[in-house]
Structure 1
Amino acid sequence: MLEPTSPREAVNEYLAEVQQELAAATAQNHKYRLDKFLTWTDEVGLDDMNEITGSLLQEFKQWLMGDVAKVTVKNHLSTVRQFVEFCEDINVAPKGVGRKIRLPTIQLGEDVSDVHILQKEAEMILEYCEDYEYATLRHTAFYILWHTGMRASALTGLDIGDYDNRANVLSLRHRPDEETPLKNKERSERDVYINDDVASVLDAFLDMHHPYVEDEYGRMPLLGGTQGRLHYTTIQRNIYTVTRPCHYTNECPHDRDLQECEATSYNTASKCPSSVAPHALRKGAATALRKQDVPKEVASERLDMSGNVLDKHYDKRTKREKMELRREYLNGI
């Protein structure tokens, strides 16, 4: 006998479970994808997970497809499958229904996202921040993420004590017991150098804008807010905001009326077609390092990723750009 449970109640139970097992950024991705699922259940009037069927899940898949990239659909469905199987385990969904979700087949190259921020765009944003938002949280977070290529979840886990302002070094450490894990645990631990310009902005943020509020573990976050340690979504919303072209150029490349556009507020900036999430800065930073001919081994260690992953998912140089760098080495041979 199944226990009647609404989709929202089931999702909340699932998220409470996975938050104990997954890195913060991964758990946040699960929440985002399941929010889409809840939107769909509201639209179709599904109010009890007991009633979920293979045909309904196929309808959800079709609902997702639209203009969304195939890899995005696959990621969403994979999360929903895990969620439905969890529902089976706690006896609120029919046994075996989760395995009826058919994931789309991804061809070679289709699993690689091209969403990354270009160096010229990053330079324009930094120039705007230098003039109008100097050393604000938004400016500081953007500059560190762009310059270092670190994950936003790693940035939120940094403490003031992890910053050596004499050597311009940020020390990333895995602290799972205090809710600031690194994605690859101890393997992600490293010291990251920042240049003088980034250090100057960070120093100014600490002098002028840091509220100096400890988190619940008595630690002082490097980028803190009035409630203590920042949540990943705070960084995410700030990056979405500052990467909207209208924010740093006062012009819209999509010919939208800025007085009526739904994406012009802090909470809705992600709806701008040109705004990007923090991960796009990581991709852009990786590409910038490779364009500057930084050796793959050096880039891999700085970014905490393998050379294969760097090549496949993060190196966005064109074939011509790669050839030009090879030619510089081969000239005269």
Structure 2
Amino acid sequence: MTLEPLAPDTAVEQYLKSREQDASASTVRNHRYRLRQFLEWADETGLDNMNELTGRLAERFKNWRISECDINSVTLEQHLRTFRVFVRWCESVDAVEQGTAEKIIVPRVSKGEKVREEHVDNEQADAIIDYLHRFEYASLSQVIFHTLWHTGCRRGALHALDLDDWHPQDRYLAFRHRPETDTPLKLQDDGERHVTVSNDRLAQSLDDYIAENRHDVTDEHGRKPLFTTRNGRISGNSIQQHVYKVTRPCFYAGKCPHNREIDDCEGTQASGYSSCPSSLSPHPVRRGAITAHLNKDIPKEIASERMSVSVDTLEEHYDARTAEEKRQNRAQYLDNL
């Protein structure tokens, strides 16, 4: 087989372009980030043609990642899996010898190492929601956090909601995949769903937010977003900032578990919310919401559909219940044994 010369940086760009057809924008961004280290290594070692990549060189790259970079085992596994997929693509365009990808050994990571324990628990969520309903009712922060907690949706799904996606009479939110106007869902068409809002306080606060505090604006595509700023649809980063803000204990509980002086702490400033060790991003809220649903004995299959996540992924990455909580949930079904 005659290999066609291909520079590493060109190969990465062409690979990422090819993935735009079958992967979400967030997946493409993740792969771009993960392959940056390979390009750095290629530059350091003088690898300027993918034709030269062999199983032995791939092993050297892996060892460089381990020795030269501050990386944990879970991240290493993720990055090497992406690298192997990239090399398979290089094989498909005759840039790398066939079989090279299969020589890349990806270290196995235990299920326990993969699971992230960080999540918002029920008690914390209730405290945040109670505080927001009392002191920031119908504010953007309040409806963002309560919606994330009640529906368990992803940040991107919340960002994608339009005003017309809230159906107050039937009390549900319609999540829609609209990539042509820059609001794709992670699972694309498979992520589309209607999610019931069964919580009376959330339903009422959404109505009041729309009536009193939502900016009557359209985005650059002429759509009317549900969650807005003065300039249009709220960005994903702004959603994250709101969640950082409300998950700080000094915000909703008036105390600091880190022995900091609240008046002097940089975490009390908008630019420093994420510097609080207790502040959390939207993903731990989603993980906690899924766990809360399971603790209320909602079947995994129902939670899977509501939160747009497969049962297998739910079990491995999102179920933060303890072994005792799982036993208690099962016990109710065993009375007649």
* TM-score normalised by the chain length of structure 1: 0.77
CA contact (8 A) 1:152 1:278 kept: yes
CA contact (8 A) 1:24 1:153 kept: no
- Does 2:222 correspond to 1:218? yes
Counterparts in 2 of 1:330 and 1:180: CA distance versus 1, 3 Å: same
**For residue 311 of structure 2, what is the aligned residue in structure 1?**
307
**For residue 250 of structure 1, what is the aligned residue in structure 2?**
254
**For residue 92 of structure 1, what is the aligned residue in structure 2?**
none
Question: Structure 2 unaligned runs (5+)?
Answer: 49-56, 90-96
Q: Provide the C-alpha distance between the structure 1 equivalents of 2:28 and 2:267, rounded to a whole number of angstroms.
A: 25
What one-letter code is carried by the residue in structure 2 that aligns with 1:171? A
Question: Structure 1 unaligned runs (5+)?
Answer: 87-94
Counterparts in 2 of 1:273 and 1:2: CA distance versus 1, 3 Å: same
Bigger drift between 303-312 and 267-276 goes to 267-276
Q: Shift of the alpha carbon at 1:12?
A: 10
- Secondary structure of the residue aligned to 2:148 is helix
**For residue 268 of structure 1, what is the aligned residue in structure 2?**
272
Larger radius of gyration: 2
Q: Provide the C-alpha distance between the structure 2 equivalents of 1:136 and 1:165, rounded to a whole number of angstroms.
A: 18
Q: Provide the C-alpha distance between the structure 2 equivalents of 1:267 and 1:205, rounded to a whole number of angstroms.
A: 25
What one-letter code is carried by the residue in structure 2 that aligns with 1:65? D
RMSD: 4.0
What one-letter code is carried by the residue in structure 2 that aligns with 1:243? T
**CA-to-aligned-CA distance 1:146-201 (integer Å, 9 cap, x gap):** 00011111111111111111111111111111111112222111111103211111
CA contact (8 A) 1:168 1:196 kept: no
Q: Provide the C-alpha distance between the structure 2 equivalents of 1:85 and 1:304, rounded to a whole number of angstroms.
A: 29
Q: Provide the C-alpha distance between the structure 2 equivalents of 1:261 and 1:218, rounded to a whole number of angstroms.
A: 41
Q: Provide the C-alpha distance between the structure 2 equivalents of 1:160 and 1:296, rounded to a whole number of angstroms.
A: 30
1:127 to 130, 137, 145: 130
Q: Shift of the alpha carbon at 1:16?
A: 8.9
Counterparts in 2 of 1:149 and 1:205: CA distance versus 1, 3 Å: same
Q: Provide the C-alpha distance between the structure 2 equivalents of 1:31 and 1:212, rounded to a whole number of angstroms.
A: 36
Q: Provide the C-alpha distance between the structure 2 equivalents of 1:28 and 1:264, rounded to a whole number of angstroms.
A: 31
Superposition pairs of residues 62-101 of structure 1, within 5 angstroms: 62=67, 64-65=69-70, 70-75=73-78
2:321 to 317, 320, 330: 317
Q: Shift of the alpha carbon at 1:128?
A: 1.5
Counterparts in 2 of 1:102 and 1:209: CA distance versus 1, 3 Å: farther
CA contact (8 A) 1:78 1:103 kept: yes
**For residue 300 of structure 2, what is the aligned residue in structure 1?**
296
Q: Provide the C-alpha distance between the structure 2 equivalents of 1:249 and 1:15, rounded to a whole number of angstroms.
A: 45
Q: Provide the C-alpha distance between the structure 1 equivalents of 2:245 and 2:83, rounded to a whole number of angstroms.
A: 29
Q: How many residue pairs were aligned?
A: 323
Counterparts in 2 of 1:323 and 1:173: CA distance versus 1, 3 Å: same
Superposition pairs of residues 155-194 of structure 1, within 5 angstroms: 155-194=158-197
Counterparts in 2 of 1:82 and 1:228: CA distance versus 1, 3 Å: farther
Counterparts in 2 of 1:204 and 1:18: CA distance versus 1, 3 Å: farther
- Does 2:243 correspond to 1:239? yes
Counterparts in 2 of 1:21 and 1:305: CA distance versus 1, 3 Å: closer
**For residue 212 of structure 2, what is the aligned residue in structure 1?**
208
- Secondary structure of the residue aligned to 2:330 is helix
- Secondary structure of the residue aligned to 2:321 is coil
- Does 2:211 correspond to 1:227? no
- Does 2:137 correspond to 1:148? no
**CA-to-aligned-CA distance 1:250-271 (integer Å, 9 cap, x gap):** 3221223334544333343333
Q: Shift of the alpha carbon at 1:145?
A: 0.6
- Does 2:108 correspond to 1:105? yes
CA contact (8 A) 2:24 2:188 kept: no
- Secondary structure of the residue aligned to 1:192 is strand
Counterparts in 2 of 1:73 and 1:248: CA distance versus 1, 3 Å: farther
Bigger drift between 75-84 and 231-240 goes to 75-84
CA contact (8 A) 1:174 1:180 kept: yes
* TM-score normalised by the chain length of structure 2: 0.77
Bigger drift between 284-293 and 102-111 goes to 102-111
What one-letter code is carried by the residue in structure 1 that aligns with 2:291? T
Q: Shift of the alpha carbon at 1:136?
A: 1.4
- Does 2:288 correspond to 1:287? no
Q: Shift of the alpha carbon at 1:131?
A: 2.1
**For residue 23 of structure 1, what is the aligned residue in structure 2?**
24
What one-letter code is carried by the residue in structure 2 that aligns with 1:185? Q
Q: Provide the C-alpha distance between the structure 2 equivalents of 1:117 and 1:22, rounded to a whole number of angstroms.
A: 29
Q: Provide the C-alpha distance between the structure 2 equivalents of 1:203 and 1:27, rounded to a whole number of angstroms.
A: 36
**For residue 334 of structure 2, what is the aligned residue in structure 1?**
330
CA contact (8 A) 1:117 1:284 kept: yes
Bigger drift between 180-189 and 151-160 goes to 180-189
Q: Percent identity?
A: 40
Q: Provide the C-alpha distance between the structure 2 equivalents of 1:184 and 1:170, rounded to a whole number of angstroms.
A: 17
- Secondary structure of the residue aligned to 1:65 is coil
